[in-house]
Amino acid sequence: MLLTHLDAATMRGGYGLIKDAAILLEDERIAWVGPRVEAPGGGRTVACGGRLVSPGLIDCHTHLVYGGSRAHEFEQRLTGVSYAEIAKAGGGIASTVRATRSQSEAELRAAALKRLDCLLAEGATTVEIKSGYGLDRETEVKMLSVARGLSRVRPVDVVTSYLGAHALPPEFRDDRAAYVDLVCNEVIPLVAREKLADAVDAFCEGIAFSVEETRRVFEAARACGLPVKLHAEQLSNLGGAKLAASFGALSVDHIEYLDQSGVDAIAGSGTAAVLLPGAFYYLRETQLPPVTALRKAGVPVAIATDLNPGSSPVHSLLATMNMACVLFALTPEEALLGLTANAARALGLKDRGVIAPGMKADLALWDIERPGELAYPLGLNPLKAVIRNGKLVRGDLS
């Protein structure tokens, strides 16, 4: 199929716009892209009405499988109680852990599908999902299995991360080391063996795990051949990003408190930075991530929803683009790169995120002329169609 009469935001080496482009799809791959006048002839041609096409969007950081709701904590925070105070009082992640442990796979799946459908309605074709609300072996496996299963019932690729080191479970309150032992010696080998996780993540923070504990988790992941990523420098600067860089991490995420030496460390290791403006917004943070320094150092910057029940109940990639621009001063082109090429980098996926020959034919067609039209309105969805693996899975192309 040859798609014509469109402008292509290829995301190759930057925004990479080709005006009046053509894209040849062969089976599940992109075979050719370039100016329409140079397009190979023959075969079926579909004229796309002069719209803008981008790679299918990639949400590279979500926690969308979980039980319960934290609306009551949202209300508490509105009265001035902080996220860290709620966590210390047994709420926060721990309250979602209780709800997630008590739910069946079917219940978790049904709730997760509703959330996933919001992302798909805005052009997502790949979504990363973390565990971390079970903490015990059984519930972590349950979460990862539910996450994996979602791609069997929806047109999306799901990438999973095991986030056992998300919070200390209540049953280990008096023995942190024993919990880290469980994560490292039992659960990481199990999820690696069963191919339930594509990566290992951790939350390195005062209210979560120390740099030394995180190092143990990363060593266990390395021993099992799994890449790592990290929730780092979100609420304070512990130096987690440097540790992550030393393990060649795929990404460091949040990073509001990352300093110049941290930026230099990740620039040197090829680690992507993942900005999560939804969590910044909901927690009313004031410390901005070092966007200028990241740009200067040439670090690939991705953005993601961080969809989770506590700090970022954000179900919209377009709203995330908007927040990345308004709150973090990304350009709309940078925000789109953050949901395509750089999001693929953050997941270690080399076959998507750009429109180029040999890449997966995952495309989103938008009824717009420029990426600013994706980032500038809130609540308006200009998605016209989605192609995944070379097949139309949403909307129509004409």
Annotate 291-328 with b (16+ C-beta within 10 A) or e (fewer).
bebbeebebbbbbbbbbbbbbbbbbbbbbbbbbbbebb
- Binding flag, residue 306, ligand NIG (CB under 6 A): yes
Can residue 234 be called a binding residue for ligand NIG (CB under 6 A)? yes
Strand partners for 199: 161
62 binds, among Fe ion, ligand NIG, none (CB under 5 to 8 A by kind): none
Q: Which stretch binds ligand NIG (CB under 6 A): 21-29, 180-188, 296-304, 305-313?
A: 305-313
Tokens of residue 95, six digits: 């309250």
- Summarize as ranges the residues that interact with Fe ion (CB under 5 A): 306
Specify whether the CB–CB gap between 234 and 310 falls below 8 A.
Answer: no
Q: Measure Cα distances from 15 to 26, 264, 331, 385, 386 in Å.
A: 24, 24, 11, 20, 19
Kindly tell me which of 233 and 306 has the beta carbon lying closer to Fe ion. Answer: 306
Q: Among residues 10, 96, 161, 271, which is the contact residue for ligand NIG, using CB under 6 A?
A: 96
- Residue 161 CB, shortest distance to ligand NIG, in Å, is 11
Reported as type and span, the H/E element at residue 165 is strand 157-165
**Out of 2, 93, 267, 365, the residue judged to bind ligand NIG by CB under 6 A:** 93
Q: Which stretch binds ligand NIG (CB under 6 A): 31-39, 302-310, 319-327, 332-340?
A: 302-310
Of 52, 255, 279, 365, which lies in the binding site for ligand NIG, with binding defined by CB under 6 A? 279
What is d(CA 397, CA 47) in angstroms, rounded to the nearest whole number?
8
Residue 92 touches which member of ligand NIG, Fe ion, none, C-beta under 5-8 Å by kind: ligand NIG
Contact criterion met (CB below 8 Å) for 368 and 374? yes
Binding mask 63-82 for ligand NIG (x = CB under 6 A): x-------------------
Look up residue 360 and give its two tokens: 């997966």
CB of 190 to Fe ion, least distance (A): 22
Work out which of 10, 308, 316, 320 binds ligand NIG, going by CB under 6 A: 308
Rank residues 311 and 322 by Cβ distance to ligand NIG and give the closer one.
311
196 lies in the binding site for ligand NIG (CB under 6 A)? no
Least distance CB 244 / Fe ion (angstroms): 14
Give the dihedral sign, CA 291/84/212/183: negative
100 touches ligand NIG by CB under 6 A: no
Give backbone dihedrals phi and psi of 243, rounded to 5 degrees, phi first.
Answer: -60, -45
Name the packing angle between helices 105-120 and 137-153 (round to 10°): 50
How far is 48 from 121, CA to CA, in rounded Å? 19
Q: Which is nearer to ligand NIG, 63 or 229 (CB)?
A: 63
**Which amino acid is residue 94, in one-letter code?**
A
- 137-145, 210-218, 242-250, 304-312 -> range binding ligand NIG (CB under 6 A): 304-312
Q: CB-wise, 139 or 308, nearer to Fe ion?
A: 308
Nearer Cβ to ligand NIG (22/232): 232
| Beta-carbon count within 10 A of 169 CB | 18
Residue ranges in contact with ligand NIG by CB under 6 A: 63, 92-93, 96, 203, 231, 234, 279, 306, 308-312
